[in-house]
Amino acid sequence: MKKKVLIGGIGSILLGDDGVGPYLARLLAACYEFGEGVEVADLGTPALDLIDQISGKDAVILIDSVDSAETESPPGEILLFRKADIMRHCPAVRMDPHSPALVDALLSAALFEIAPAHVLLVGIVGASYEVGCSLSDPVKASLKRAITEVLNELDRLIVDYRRLEHPTGLDIWWASEEMKSAQLT
């Protein structure tokens, strides 16, 4: 039976490191081919409409920036939050700029019995949220590790994927040419 899996990048591409989620979602789509039932999406900055994205999925892997002040972790560190970790926080607590939407969406989906069984938030501790379309050096240095965590989760879920021999072009208008050409070789 094929699993319905969403790999979603969350964040604002206009606020520095907050754009790491959308960047990584597009990078994954350019460099990997995924099994049937896997959707890779740039979710932007969702609010309660996130419930529409996660409803009916077997698993959801979200990639987002997390605030270093809240985590006491250095910029670029990768933090993993499972569904139980996320649900421990009531909707008023903010783990990152999108947490209230995530907690509320998971609670609503559970109420209607359409919640994903497996949720993983791959959090990348950001260094800069200044207006601009670039990632800080510590966040750029963590991109490979973040992708490894996404792929590890797919392995855990027994979901097929393969690295493309010739990655497609990155469809990221805001990324620098250096970032587009790197494609995590």
Sign of the alpha-carbon torsion through 70, 72, 74, 76: negative
* Span 5-182 CATH architecture: 3-Layer(aba) Sandwich (3.40)
Per-residue pLDDT of the chain (185 residues; tens, 9 = 90+): 689 999 999 999 888 899 999 999 999 999 999 999 999 999 998 877 888 899 999 999 999 998 866 668 899 999 999 998 888 865 544 445 544 577 778 888 888 888 899 999 999 999 998 888 889 999 999 999 999 999 999 999 999 999 999 887 776 766 665 555 555 55
pTM: 0.87
Each domain of the chain, given as residue ranges in start order, spans 5-182
SS3 40: strand
Only one residue has tokens 């987002």, namely: 64
| Tokens standing for residue 35 | 């099994």
